[in-house]
Structure 1
Amino acid sequence: MGCEDFLEVDTPKDQIDRQMIFSDDRMAVAAVSNIYTQLRSGGFLAGNRVGAGYLFGCYTDELEVVNPQLSSHRSFYENAVLSTNTAVKDLWTAGYQQVFAVNSILEGLEGSSAVSADIKNQLKGEALAIRAVIHLYLVQTFGSVPYIKTTDYNLNRVVAKDPVNVVMKNVIDDLLNAENLLTVNYPSVEKVRINQTVVKAFLARACLYAGDWQNAEGYAAEVIAVNNNMEPVSSRFLKDSKSALWQLKPETDGKNTAEAIEYIFQTLPAPQSKIATTLLGVFETDDLRKKSWLKFVGDDGLNVCAYKYKIIGNSSPSQEYSVILRIEEMFLIVAECAAERSDWDTFNTIINKVRNSAGLSDLNLQNKQEAVNAVLQERRLEFFCEFGHRFYDLKRRNRLEALKVVKNNWQSHYDLLPLPESELLLNQNLLPQNTGY
């Protein structure tokens, strides 16, 4: 899908529609709620096979694709992704469709005098945060990309790429603006909309990706100060999980998650994919995450599915929501940043909180390289099949070459996906293509 598919010229009818949508608080809230629905159903945060969790699980060393008919996903698994790959195009298209929807919200709020000031600030903060998060995934996946801030078709159809550092600055600027507009109170009864704490958590992640250890640790510590509840491993993905900072709820009450439907299999052969044997070998014997988050099917110990989410069918009411962001990430960010400044008391205290919660014994490390390795190990075990954490962690630490152990044809330029060929044909200002494609 090209620019003209997701960016429309404003017409008088569009203006009338926008005036109607932002004619009162209730309608404006409904418009923003629809953005969350879009996030759940497609793009990087989707829990099914089109999302970053599944795709980068295949791309790295978390999942083995066993169904030859999943051609786009086998290309990820075999590291043979081309610019014509459907899954690549879908990531890009869904991302920018969501950005367009967010920008439409922001422009509508700006032009509305009918929405109350408090609601306007809340919704603007949510929209800015979502725009930042989508661009954070886009830039970490594709490299230089446009940072889109308008719905103006004439501008967007010829937009050029922004350098990575410019995109990251815009991400952080949007998050900082969102932080100022939001409060620590969730705008809904559940944790299904963004509040100030969620924004700070994404600021911590963005700063971590940028190598800004001081601010990454600072924001993560602020989040922990508000919510330091690590749920037992067995209940981290339940609807009422205290570990969860932000969740996406199912489309209707009684349904559960796309993740459960996508990852769980109960008979052999596995229908689509299974946990990679290399990941199985990384868990320590007593790790509760292995016992609770993996399901062994059959007797050979080789057919294993991700079992973080356990309910495939309906329940009354819904018991599991998709957990987009959780507190364990903040603890591990603090630990990693403490290692960077050789603060071993903080490092060992914090990483052992995560390890102890998984039933593991304490570490007592005093060496930076060993400490960073330990953090990456914990992140690997804590966040497998969650939104591409493994890929982005190896990338930011310049360790993607480690995948050569299981990916014989791995090449250095696989740190970025190719830009979709269809987009380059529509807008030559997006050239050049990423190196190697």
Structure 2
Amino acid sequence: MKIKNHIKIGLACLLMITATGCDGFLDEDLKSALSPNNTFTSTYGFELGSAGLYALTRSEYNTYGESGAFMHNGACPYEALQVSTDIVEAINSDGSLMPFANLTVTPDNRFVLSYWNWAYSLIASANEVLIFSEKNNNWDSPTDKVRFQAEARFFRAYAYRTLVYLYGDVPYVETILYDFQLNFTRTPKAEVLGHIVDDLKFAAENLPENADNVKDGKLTKWAALHLLSEMYLMQGENTLAAKSASDVIASGYFELMKTRYGVNKSKPGDVFSDLFIEDNQNRKSGNRESIWVLQFEFNTIGGGTNSDDWTRRAWIPNYSAITGFVLADSLGGRGLGQIIPMKWWVGTKGTNATGDVAGIYDATDIRNSNYNIKRNWYYNNSNEASLYGKKSNITDQTWFSTKSLFPALTKFFYGRSENLSLTGSYRDRMKFRLAETYLLLAEAYIGLGDTQKAADAINEVRKRAGATTITASQVTMDFLLDERIRELVGEDSRRFTLTRTNKMVDRVKMYNTALKDKIQEYHMLWPIPQSIIDSNRDAEFPQNPGYN
């Protein structure tokens, strides 16, 4: 129970200050009750606080709770960062998702506020660790102080990353607010990005370097440099972005996985599918591609719950609603088809859907193999003798009406025979992996106008996939965005990628037929939560354009 207790105690400590607006409470000499003043007094106390930061970060994917560090109180927060882009549609999906899918989101929307609150909860907790670390003199090792500060500054940067992507200009806070404040102002995005970069540079200088010598899920300098590359791209600092990505690639700790590995390496599959098999995400499995892995492991103390990471429910069709099917772990477990892939990129090969579409994959690309995109579905209910073992065809009705059968990404398959109705994915999630680092490097070189080096970086990813290599003349930002779909679809937040590259409106107009005549430039940002504006009575706090 030690890890779980660390998380609970750490969270309670981190949230103590923000849960109370009473400064006097913090002056009491508490001996038996938990507070930052009597917890952040040793390395052990900061270990608890660190566990709380990791738990809060993982709760970005939480839905309804179950002892989560934070909850969005809705079914589809992750999916809200995928819809109204160029990759998926939401049809008759959960009501929490539809305003984002059809561009009718308002300042009163649940996720508009919950993402804001999640980010500032993480920021407040990171600030708490940073401030109390300056007060503490009781460290087990001379390097402990700067290590915990590096973690806290990484997480603060990570939270502000979400805020600037979603809302643009946001208040920048780097202290503990003991009293209610009603006069916040919006810090310009460029200034916030500068603070993010400063935090990540500090983190990169002071987090552990040896990726083989940290616990699963723990940060290293390479995670900080990977994120720093992305933030430099947001700033338009392409040379610095290329340098940070190149440093990760050249570190010697990571490599693209090119041979079969892990728990199913002797079973049918390919190396790309191996990356997403349960227990294959961390380095102990042989995975040297993962840079940072969020820990959601099944039946592990401190691991995932049924309310964590419902990605599988989003991407897997509701096949069990079809007569002749029953839930099966081999079919991905319980899916609901909250979001469905668009034909233009996934293609319709192997189906009888109306209007054959080739998709964006080469014939030799293993990312399009049957091990990675399931297009052939066979009835599996042995009680339906007339159907059992026969193929069930994908049609436009099963794809876009009932959402019961469509090409499905097996990277999100997850089922357990002991409880096939599980909602949570219960599998460690690769947050950063080296394939994306190469694509960030390519993005930087495109910004620098060096299409040959961009092609070289993209080709490293394509060669692993068995796809044909490209030439410098083929490199465009649109090609790179397509490559990010082939490699990273569903793993990254597509909204973030399209916002950073300033391609959201163009790509939606090009590929999203439902929204092409509706999307406008202001849709690149979400509205500021109305409750935030209303509570900020003593200073002007303007709404984002288009949402007034």
TM-score calculated relative to the size of structure 1: 0.88
Other-structure match for 2:465: 358
Q: How far is the alpha carbon of 1:188 from its aligned partner?
A: 6.8
Q: How far is the alpha carbon of 1:399 from its aligned partner?
A: 2.0
Other-structure match for 1:250: 296
Q: Contact 1:248/1:321 (CA < 8 Å) preserved in 2? A: yes
Query: How far apart in 2 are the matches of 1:359 and 1:387?
Result: 22
More helix by share: 1
Structure with the larger RCO, 1 or 2 (CA within 8 Å, 6+ apart): 1
Match 2:315 to one of 248, 263, 271: 263
Matches within 5 A, 1:76-225: 76-116=100-140, 117-154=142-179, 156-186=181-211, 189-225=214-250
Q: What letter matches 1:410 in structure 2?
A: I
Secondary structure of the residue aligned to 1:267 is helix
CA deviations over 1:189-221 (Å, ceiling 9, x no partner): 434121111111111010011111100000000
Other-structure match for 2:274: 235
Give structure 1 stretches of 5+ with no counterpart.
none
Query: How far apart in 2 are the matches of 1:396 and 1:430?
Result: 27
Q: How far is the alpha carbon of 1:288 from its aligned partner?
A: 2.0
Other-structure match for 1:279: 345
Query: How far apart in 1 are the matches of 2:531 and 2:233?
Result: 32
Match 2:414 to one of 306, 311, 314: 311
1:348 aligns with 2:348: no
Match 2:481 to one of 376, 381, 385: 376
1:401 aligns with 2:505: yes
Q: What letter matches 1:393 in structure 2?
A: T
Q: Which moved more, 1:81-90 or 1:171-180?
A: 171-180
Matches within 5 A, 1:62-81: 62-68=87-93, 70-81=94-105
Other-structure match for 1:415: 524
Q: How far is the alpha carbon of 1:152 from its aligned partner?
A: 1.4
Query: How far apart in 2 are the matches of 1:24 and 1:419?
Result: 39
Relative to 1, partners in 2 of residues 1:42 and 1:336: Cα closer, same or farther, differing over 3 Å?
Answer: closer
1:331 aligns with 2:377: no
Q: Which moved more, 1:279-288 or 1:123-132?
A: 279-288
Matched residues, percent identical?
22
Other-structure match for 1:424: 533
Give structure 2 stretches of 5+ with no counterpart.
1-16, 64-69, 258-270, 323-335, 348-358, 378-391, 400-405, 419-424
Other-structure match for 2:266: none
Q: How far is the alpha carbon of 1:53 from its aligned partner?
A: 4.3
Other-structure match for 1:300: 394
CA deviations over 1:9-38 (Å, ceiling 9, x no partner): 444447751132223222311211121111
Q: Contact 2:83/2:100 (CA < 8 Å) preserved in 1? A: yes
Relative to 1, partners in 2 of residues 1:239 and 1:158: Cα closer, same or farther, differing over 3 Å?
Answer: same
Q: How far is the alpha carbon of 1:380 from its aligned partner?
A: 2.5
1:40 aligns with 2:58: yes
Q: Contact 1:132/1:171 (CA < 8 Å) preserved in 2? A: yes
Query: How far apart in 1 are the matches of 2:438 and 2:106?
Result: 37
CA deviations over 1:164-202 (Å, ceiling 9, x no partner): 110110111111122222231359743412111111111
Q: How far is the alpha carbon of 1:86 from its aligned partner?
A: 0.6
Q: Which moved more, 1:348-357 or 1:199-208?
A: 348-357
Relative to 1, partners in 2 of residues 1:55 and 1:314: Cα closer, same or farther, differing over 3 Å?
Answer: farther
CA RMSD, aligned part only?
3.0
Q: What letter matches 2:414 in structure 1?
A: I
Other-structure match for 2:367: 289
Q: What letter matches 1:129 in structure 2?
A: F
Q: How far is the alpha carbon of 1:363 from its aligned partner?
A: 0.6
Q: Which moved more, 1:167-176 or 1:371-380?
A: 371-380
Work out which of the two has the higher radius of gyration on C-alpha atoms and give 1 or 2: 2
Query: How far apart in 2 are the matches of 1:73 and 1:112?
Result: 45
Other-structure match for 1:436: 546
Q: What letter matches 2:361 in structure 1?
A: E
Q: How far is the alpha carbon of 1:372 from its aligned partner?
A: 2.6
Other-structure match for 2:39: 21
Query: How far apart in 1 are the matches of 2:274 and 2:20?
Result: 41
Q: Contact 2:184/2:541 (CA < 8 Å) preserved in 1? A: no
Other-structure match for 2:13: none
Query: How far apart in 2 are the matches of 1:111 and 1:56?
Result: 39
Q: Which moved more, 1:171-180 or 1:151-160?
A: 151-160
Relative to 1, partners in 2 of residues 1:204 and 1:182: Cα closer, same or farther, differing over 3 Å?
Answer: same
CA deviations over 1:211-244 (Å, ceiling 9, x no partner): 1110000000000012441123112333233211
